[in-house]
Structure 1
Amino acid sequence: MSVSSAPLAKGRRRIPIGAAIGLFFIGLFLFAATFAPLISPHPLGEIVGDVWMPMSGEHWFGTDNLGRDLLSRMIYGARTTILIAAAATALSFTLGSILGFTAAVVGGWFDMTMSRFVDLLMSIPTLIFGLVVLSVLPSNVVTLILVMGTLDSTRVYRLSRAVAADINAMDFVEAAKLRGEDRAWIIFREILPNALSPLVSELGLRFIFAVLFLSALSFLGLGVQPPQADWGGMVKENKDGIVFGISAALIPAGAIAALAISVNLVADWILNRTTSLRGGRGNA
């Protein structure tokens, strides 16, 4: 019986083709972002040829609107885009999940105040809110991370509070309260381990949203500022070439789409592997 069950167990551990493709592209983008100065054929702002030169053996993606090597700027753009999106996502999850769990456990006036404040922020369109704030504040990397992370934390708060409220009513949490455990124990040892599944799924979606939000801000001129490169800004810089059949704007747009789809595929796979609740880790 153990022999016949071995292939089945092995099949369950096999990575689906979609997740494998997603992992490949995520790894490729992370490799480019990490080793950008080493693998980039040219420096970020170096003029290497004429404007919008076609793809060739010397310039694999051609050149951009100023004659810079597009492949080099794509590699450096991967570093900027992924760094800012990842940092903003980490900030949004840290802030939103802690406040959401705390509101669900504490309840009362704290829950009411936080929820109404979050409702107020969510009633304003995120892009408009971001544009208004960034038009006043300097558009540097730190400001972008703080603004994007804070705005996105409202969505994470809503999910965290809803999930924590359900888990907070379960028997193993009630048993921990009867044992006299404090709120920090309840949040981090009882609720958090059992809330990881929906949070992991939301993590992928929030990262995708951060990439798209950053790209939109850069396209509108309030995101990453020159001479730094990010994929959304590269679309803006080369959009006029589309009229003449130049693909320089479509390459960074395709990279944004590939990253978004890849993260979503991997997040779905992870969610399918971690869907069951695990009761009361703190009880052991």
Structure 2
Amino acid sequence: MTPEFKKALRHAPISAWIGFIIIGLYIFVAIFAPVLAPYTEREVAGAQYLPWAAPHYLGTDALGRDVLSRLIYGARNTVGIAVLTTFLAFGFGAMTGLLAATVGGRFDQLASRVVDILMAIPPLIFALLVLTITGTTVWALICVIALLDSTRVFRLSRAVAQNILVMDYIEVARLRGESLWWLIRREVLPNSTAPLIAEFGLRFCFVFLFISALSFLGLGIQPPAADWGSMVRESAKLITFADFSSFDGATFGLAPLLPAAAIAMLTIGVNLVVDWVLHNASGLKE
């Protein structure tokens, strides 16, 4: 950590600290899932739909697998894939957008038209089509979502770079004979940090939710691997048959809300941290 970041961290608002705590908790759970989970994610540990009681503190699912253990392992699977996908999408989209804006000409036109074509297709339909053809492997899922989300990052980074490239200091750098990569690395990229940081947080949330949506439809992370989206799908029918007049009956209706709440809490935590980082990076004052 730089001294400036440590100073900003000491003066961070309570909302940012709540976000850090939430994200830190998820990271801890994802890393130490084998230690924290009482059972493995695939182990049939009891009968189907057992109530919330020891040793299954959140009950079991339709196959008798421990729900608490699958929630814990879901943090590793869902969040890990979302982080990797976001880094790929953001790295490819941001660098291509900055390069297109700086180079201009035919390369800019070609890249922009390809992005327009991809963005014209509804993302969910495009992902369903490609994953149906290629198969629902983890790497196919990562590549498809990274490609779709990189188009959004491309549009933002290109627009931000175009506003920067008309500044006087860019003209001075070009007159000095600076190279293309020097302009991108030393002038354009540092001055586009604030919107790109905000976009990174948003992209992670959208990727995270998109993976969960695909898993809910059966084309995301495949069973028997634990995933929060597929856990919502598997237990959604319990809401209809839950008996809310008793505690044991009500727990069946709450079962689909557990993975949904895990998804929502991480999304909130990331947005709280991104808001604080954006506030500092943009130079805004209270």
Q: TM-score, normalised by structure 2?
A: 0.90
* Structure 2 counterpart of 1:213, one-letter code: F
Deviation of 1:57 (Å):
3.8
Q: How far apart, in 2, do the equivalents of 1:136 and 1:98 lie?
A: 29
1:41 and 2:38 matched: yes
Which stretch has the larger CA shift, 171-180 or 148-157?
Answer: 171-180
2:112 to 103, 110, 115: 115
From the superposition, tell whether residues 11 and 102 of structure 1 become closer, same or farther in structure 2 (CA, over 3 Å).
closer
2:262 to 246, 255, 259: 255
* Structure 1 counterpart of 2:102, one-letter code: V
1:24 to 13, 21, 24: 21
Q: Any unmatched runs of 5+ in structure 2?
A: 1-6, 243-251
Deviations 1:10-61 (A, max 9, x none): 8994222221111111111111111111221111111222222222242222
Deviations 1:165-204 (A, max 9, x none): 1111112222211111110111111111111110110111
- 3-state SS of paired residue (1:208): helix
From the superposition, tell whether residues 172 and 13 of structure 1 become closer, same or farther in structure 2 (CA, over 3 Å).
farther
* Structure 2 counterpart of 1:66, one-letter code: L
1:75 to 59, 65, 72: 72
Q: CA-atom RMSD, angstroms?
A: 1.6
Q: Give 1:97-176 correspondences, 5 Å limit.
A: 97-176=94-173
From the superposition, tell whether residues 11 and 160 of structure 1 become closer, same or farther in structure 2 (CA, over 3 Å).
closer
- 3-state SS of paired residue (2:106): helix
Which stretch has the larger CA shift, 18-27 or 155-164?
Answer: 18-27
User: Is contact 1:52–1:248 with CA below 8 Å preserved after alignment?
Assistant: no
From the superposition, tell whether residues 255 and 12 of structure 1 become closer, same or farther in structure 2 (CA, over 3 Å).
closer
Q: Counterpart of 1:91?
A: 88
Q: How far apart, in 2, do the equivalents of 1:265 and 1:202 lie?
A: 13
Q: Counterpart of 1:272?
A: 279
Q: How far apart, in 2, do the equivalents of 1:151 and 1:133 lie?
A: 11
Which stretch has the larger CA shift, 58-67 or 35-44?
Answer: 58-67
Count how many residue pairs are aligned between Structure 1 and Structure 2: 268
Deviations 1:151-175 (A, max 9, x none): 1000000000001111111122222
User: Is contact 1:130–1:148 with CA below 8 Å preserved after alignment?
Assistant: yes
Deviation of 1:134 (Å):
0.4
Q: How far apart, in 1, do the equivalents of 2:92 and 2:79 lie?
A: 20
- 3-state SS of paired residue (1:145): helix
Q: How far apart, in 2, do the equivalents of 1:12 and 1:203 lie?
A: 19
2:188 to 188, 191, 202: 191
Q: How far apart, in 2, do the equivalents of 1:152 and 1:89 lie?
A: 8
Which stretch has the larger CA shift, 166-175 or 145-154?
Answer: 166-175
2:211 to 206, 214, 218: 214
User: Is contact 1:208–1:260 with CA below 8 Å preserved after alignment?
Assistant: yes
From the superposition, tell whether residues 241 and 12 of structure 1 become closer, same or farther in structure 2 (CA, over 3 Å).
closer
Q: Counterpart of 2:197?
A: 200
From the superposition, tell whether residues 224 and 13 of structure 1 become closer, same or farther in structure 2 (CA, over 3 Å).
same
* Structure 1 counterpart of 2:13, one-letter code: P
- 3-state SS of paired residue (1:43): coil
From the superposition, tell whether residues 59 and 276 of structure 1 become closer, same or farther in structure 2 (CA, over 3 Å).
same
- 3-state SS of paired residue (1:146): helix
Which stretch has the larger CA shift, 233-242 or 54-63?
Answer: 54-63
Deviation of 1:241 (Å):
1.1
- Percent identity, aligned pairs only, is 54
User: Is contact 1:92–1:150 with CA below 8 Å preserved after alignment?
Assistant: yes
Q: Counterpart of 1:65?
A: 62
Q: Could you list the runs of 4 or more consecutive aligned residues of structure 1 that deviate by over 6 angstroms after TM superposition? A: none
Q: Any unmatched runs of 5+ in structure 1?
A: 1-9, 278-284
* Structure 1 counterpart of 2:115, one-letter code: V
